[in-house]
Amino acid sequence: MKIITVKQNNVDIAVISSSGILIKDVQSALDFMATVSFETGCNRIILNKSAICEDFFQLSTKLAGEILQKFINYHVKIAIIGDFSVYSSKSLKDFIYECNKGKDIFFFPDENQAIEKLSLV
């Protein structure tokens, strides 16, 4: 896991890149948040969707809800970036749409949009 910190609008954002899966269950998500917080002090994170297990994107597993609830509970805002058009699930598309209307969890196609949003919320 490689962590870069960017600052925009006086807000620090941790941008995480990884060649492997970092989040595969609730415990790994908690460990991930703790590591990023300890190493950067940031409570805003950008993570590529390839670092999250595919079960996350199958809403019937309830994994996305369980994991994202932890981010909200610990006041960590996250933007997941990547190509979400590969998923045909209407419920996932609706979920992403609703998240993007909120103020804690976001799904964007690229890092620049994620930085812009996280620096304003």
Q: What is the CATH number of the domain that holds 99?
A: 3.30.750
What is the band of 70 on the pLDDT scale with cuts at 50, 70, 90?
Answer: very high
Closest CA to 78 of 39, 117, 20, 40: 117
Record the tokens describing residue 40, joined without a space: 């950067």
Domain total in the chain: 1
Sheet containing 11-17, strands listed edge to edge, beginning at the edge strand earlier in sequence: 2-8, 11-17, 44-48, 77-81, 105-108
Q: Is 115 exposed, middle or buried (0-12, 13-18, 19+ CB in 10 A)?
A: buried
pLDDT at 29 over 80: yes
Residue range 74-100: mean pLDDT, rounded: 96
pLDDT-derived band of residue 121, with 50, 70 and 90 as boundaries?
A: confident
> What pLDDT score does 112 carry?
97
Tokens 């909120």 map to which residue? 102
- In this prediction the pTM is 0.95
Name the residue range of residue 23's domain: 2-118
